Amino acid sequence: LVDGTGLHGEYATLSHCWGTHRPLNTEERTIAQRRHGILDTKLPRTFRGAVVICRELKIRYLWINSLCIIQDSRKDWAKNAPRMGDVYSNPILTIVVSVVVDNTEGYFKDRILDQRAWILQEQVLATRTLNMGRKEMSWLCSEHVSSIPRSQIYDFWYRTVMDFTGRKLTYRKDKLAAIAGLANRYGATIQDNYFAGMWKNDILISLLWRSGAALAGVPPTKRVSDGLAPSLSWASLDGFVDY
């Protein structure tokens, strides 16, 4: 584990599902141990596979959330959560393991990655993605678009919200944090003010969401009064919302 303060260089990120067992992580009591080094044999197979890819491609650094963020420190989490947009939009490569359930067992389990809310911004922000599937690897590279009408950018956001709210989130308190990186990127593009999942200059449309309970075949949603978001925001609900 390397302290990245002041460091400059190419790095890769690993986008994966934690699965049925909590992966190897960093806690306050293990920071010194992690910085001293981690034996390859101690890494879950998913992590080892990502390390092999980085070594073969001569990429020196690899970002893995569970190792690079101190898991039992709210202070470290509060510092790093707003940075996730930058972390996942700037790597030379994002390695996506899309079929793993248990990190100890490697790549070949049922596909559940696309169901996780946090994974959405990791995949959308990535510029170069190597997707490790059950039977094949696939490559995705984003292309530069010179001009997109502002109205279409807002439309993209609302579609993103629909995708995001249909995914699984372990902790409700992470609801807005898990999409904050995307919101920052959208906000920088359209030069608009963002609040609780909504945009000031498109506030009327931002308010035109409806609960998934109104749609056939969609699991019921529920309103949660925990202060995370005002009741006029889609983030005040748990479950799918539609625009």
| Tens digits of residue pLDDT in 180-235 | 888 888 888 888 999 999 999 999 999 999 887 656 555 667 777 777 889 999 99
Which is higher by pLDDT, 1 or 20? Answer: 1
- In DSSP notation, 131-196 reads EE-SS-EEEEE----S---HHHHHHHHHHHHHHHHTSB-S-GGGTTHHHHHHHHHHHHHHT--EET
Of residues 4 and 128, more confidence is placed in 128
Phi, psi of 72, rounded to the nearest 5 degrees: -105, 20
Residues 6+ apart with CB under 8 A from 225: 231, 236
- Phi, psi at residue 206, to the nearest 5°? -55, -30
What DSSP element (H or E) covers 241? strand 241-242
Q: In the prediction, which pLDDT does 110 show?
A: 47
Distance separating alpha carbons of residues 75 and 138, to the nearest angstrom: 37
Count the Cβ atoms, other than its own, within 10 Å of residue 16. Answer: 28
Q: What's the CA gap between 124 and 122, in Å, rounded?
A: 6
State how far the Cα of 17 lies from the Cα of 206, in Å rounded to an integer: 30
Pairing of strands 11-15, 61-63: parallel
pLDDT, position 182: 84
pLDDT at 178: 84
Q: How far apart are CA 218 and CA 230, in angstroms?
A: 23
Per-domain residue ranges of the chain:
11-141, 150-242
Least confident of 42-56, 132-146, 159-173: 132-146
pTM of the model: 0.62
Of 167, 159, 179, the C-alpha closest to 239 is 167
